[in-house]
Amino acid sequence: MKLVFAGTPEVAVPALDALIASDRHEVAAVVTRPDAPAGRGRHMVASPVAERAAEAGIEVLKPVRPRDEDFLARLREIAPDCCPVVAYGALLPKVALDVPARGWVNLHFSLLPAWRGAAPVQHALMAGDEITGASTFLIEEGLDSGPVYGTVTEAIRPADTSGDLLTRLAFAGAGLLAATMDGIEDGTLTAVPQPADGISLAPKITVEDARIDWAAPALRVDRVVRGCTPAPGAWTEFRGERLKVRSAVPVPDRTDLAPGELSVGKKNLYVGTGSYAVELLWVQAQGKKPMAAADWARGVRIAEGERLG
């Protein structure tokens, strides 16, 4: 099939690579979000998908809105058979959905209908799920509600952050998306409607969602830290300033600390929760680089009884 691939962040690149490598399909063009400011200098930078497509000599389309007439006209000129999508980042209007004969097929990082929305991996971790995966489905106008072509499962490991899990799903999902394109092309795959039961929503994680509640049990604190790493970053407050918690582990045998109370050892930093303590491993003070939590604690000279939050 002739394909137009839509995607933006680094997590979409493995799927693009898999389709470029396929000897059954042609990636005629890539659709991605416009260049955006990045880094300390706030220079305009192309998306990872745009950079990879340019390296491969593939035409790159960067519409401000996917309903822009110039973009739609070019899409009709290319006349793709199918448009695979991975984390494109914009809603596709019906006028765009109607262009490819075999529709737009999305790779979504959950086992649909669980975790429909922008942050499925983060929500799966924060909810304490043990299994997640990826799904390919035909895009409709509803939110991740279209019929499913295929799935792949992935176990959630005890120390996984959302970054760890998303990286594994990006590569597993790349194979799934390529196989889905093959099945659509040769007629061996039929999309199956999603069940009406088991629907859960995964909206974008807000900064407030990432705030640590030290009165919550340690397992909840652990899930928030892992689910919000690397972005947007779990955080708390210390002496009136924001402190990001980049890594922490529960310590079930430490039950002597009140919620938020800090305890500094020679090489360790503990904080109390609503159940037992967690050990902070890496933190990032406001305006600073990430550092070992014990080193940070020595630098700020934590007084007895001081608390986070």
Sequence-ordered list of residues with C-beta below 8 angstroms from that of 275, at least 6 positions apart, any chain: 217, 218, 219, 255
For the chain, the C-alpha Rg in angstroms (whole number) is 22
Annotated binding-site positions for (6S)-5,6,7,8-tetrahydrofolate: 110-113
Q: What is the DSSP letter of 160?
A: -
Sequence-ordered list of residues with C-beta below 8 angstroms from that of 68, at least 6 positions apart, any chain: none
Q: How far apart are CA 236 and CA 67, in angstroms?
A: 41
Q: Which pair of structure tokens corresponds to residue 203?
A: 């909206």
Annotated binding-site positions: 110-113
Phi, psi for 14 (deg, rounded to 5): -55, -40
Crossing angle of the two packed helices 48-55 and 13-21, in degrees rounded to 10: 20
